Amino acid sequence: MLPWDHNFFHILHAATDSTDGPSLTPLQRYDQIVDGTRNMLDLAVATGASRFLLTSSGAIYGPQPADLAAIAEDWPGSPPLAEPSRAYAQGKRAAEHLCALVGEQHGLETVVARCFAFVGPDLPLNVHFAIGNFIRDALTADAITVFGDGTPLRTYLEQSDLAHWLLTLLEHGRPGQAYNVGSDEVISIADLAHLVRVILAPDKPVHILGQPNPDAARNRYVPDIRKAKQELGLTLTIALAESIRRIGEAYRQKSPSQA
């Protein structure tokens, strides 16, 4: 038991370090996710919480097949077990299973949010998120640079929608269920770079450094969000273009000399 002198009713566990996580070794990433989740579940049990929301990841599905337009929650795929680079995804899978085990043993209502990609004024612009890098380039560089071939397909949910979705899942998600959390507005990385350019820096060029391989399967990371929409009435209220505009406006307010 943990030394808490008061109770919690709802716990939202979203503590995985996604921004600086790549600086950890694969084993450190795995341990951070699994041990951290176990600690939070222990806290929930010790303090008498009735509901627990885990923020998991769309990475738990493994590589999305090129012919699968969007991944639903019942997709049976998984990341390769023998690849250390999949430690983040495997850690999230283990964390989800821990929620099921503790929920069953202690009567804790656990819900899983499988999160995809997000955007908003609080997004770091100088780490490994492509959209953040494009916005940074549009605001501070001579050109917007795409280091790959621009063909991967992605979606981005605005951060205020994300907050609403997570709170709704925490309060109303069905116990023992997982829900995809993301957008169904699909865009290629190349088109995303050009969209950022149109909104924030129409006078700057877009440089795509990679060349598409016609024989390679197209990379996709696209959620099927019908379950969240149909069961919980969740919707997207802020379009991607509007979110990009808001980020540019927020940055210029913080750094008027670079606007």
Q: What is the pLDDT of residues 154-203, one digit of tens each?
A: 999 999 999 999 999 999 999 999 999 999 999 999 999 999 999 999 99
How far is 130 from 86, CA to CA, in rounded Å?
A: 19
Please name every residue paired with 208 in a beta bridge, in sequence order, or none if there are none.
146
**Rounded CA separation 126/177 (Å):** 34
Q: How far apart are the first and last CA of the chain?
A: 53
Task: Count CA atoms closer than 13 A to 69's CA, side-chain side.
Answer: 5
What radius of gyration do the chain's Cα atoms show? 19
Phi, psi of 110 (to 5 degrees): -105, 140
Do 150 and 216 touch, CB atoms closer than 8 A?
no
Q: Give the pLDDT of residue 4.
A: 56
Confidence of residue 253 (pLDDT cuts 50, 70, 90): confident
Indicate if the pLDDT at residue 126 is higher than 90.
no
User: Among the listed ranges 92-96, 191-195, 215-219, which one has the minimum average pLDDT value?
Assistant: 215-219
> What's the rounded Cα separation, in Å, for the pair 188 and 214?
16
What is the CATH T-level fold of the domain 10-258, as seen in this structure? Answer: Rossmann fold (3.40.50)
Determine the pLDDT at residue 109: 98
- Three-class DSSP category at 52: strand
Quick one: average pLDDT of 25-47? Answer: 95
Q: Which DSSP state fits 205?
A: -
23 versus 174: the higher-pLDDT residue is: 174
Q: Is residue 19 pLDDT above 80, yes or no?
A: no
d(C-alpha 203, C-alpha 143), whole Å? 9
